[in-house]
Amino acid sequence: MLLGHSMGGLITVRFSLADGRQSDLAGLIVTGAALIIDEGVHPLVRRVGRLVARLAPDLPLIPPKPGVLSTDPAVELAFLADPLTYKAPARAGLVDQMIRAGLDARARLDRLTLPLLVMHGTDDRLTSPAGSRFLRERAASPDKTLVLWPGMRHEIFNEPDGAVVVTTVLDWLDARFALDLTAGQG
């Protein structure tokens, strides 16, 4: 089982699509997956962005506005106070590579056959919920579930109703991979 969030969700999907990897996994859980991060960007701006990424990959882009992580202001404050979180603007080269990786993943979703739980906050402004809908629609898995969380932002586990999100994951896992805790007891 593999779980990935945001860029980790994109990495999780691409990892599972690598040759032979699906046989190593029991399923995928992706939340806020960065399959589409350039929704609504004009095609001319995308082309200029690719050129900038080639010429100046370390150029910092405009940082996201405060409040994109969660509807709970304490989550944003905790993020800002955490010395282990990256707070600088994303670099042009990274953003370009993420867009390219998202395109690659979306082009190959018809090869994804693992049990799949996809979740996304509908008010996510960092990664587009459209990417999660696309993942659910295009994956070839006969067992695929999409849960869109109304009013939630990017960090669905850290929203005020995050316990419901965790319960959804646990229920999904229990329904597919229940453990027999009495096995081996005499």
Q: Is 154 a catalytic residue?
A: yes
Query: Cα–Cα–Cα angle for 28, 158, 93, nearest 5°?
Result: 65
Nearest to 41 by CA among 29, 50, 54, 28: 50
Contact residues for 56 (Cβ-Cβ < 8 A; gap 6+): 92
Q: Is 124 a catalytic residue?
A: yes
**Per annotation, catalytic residue among 6, 16, 70, 128:** 6
Written as one string, the DSSP assignment of 113-167 is -S-EEEEEETT-SSS-HHHHHHHHHH---SSEEEEEETT--S-GGGSTTHHHHHH
Distance CA 143, CA 109 (A): 14
**Per annotation, catalytic residue among 16, 70, 120, 124:** 124
Contact residues for 28 (Cβ-Cβ < 8 A; gap 6+): 1, 2, 3, 4, 12, 13, 16, 112, 114, 115, 116, 117
Distance CA 143, CA 13 (A): 15
Residues with active-site annotation: 6, 124, 154
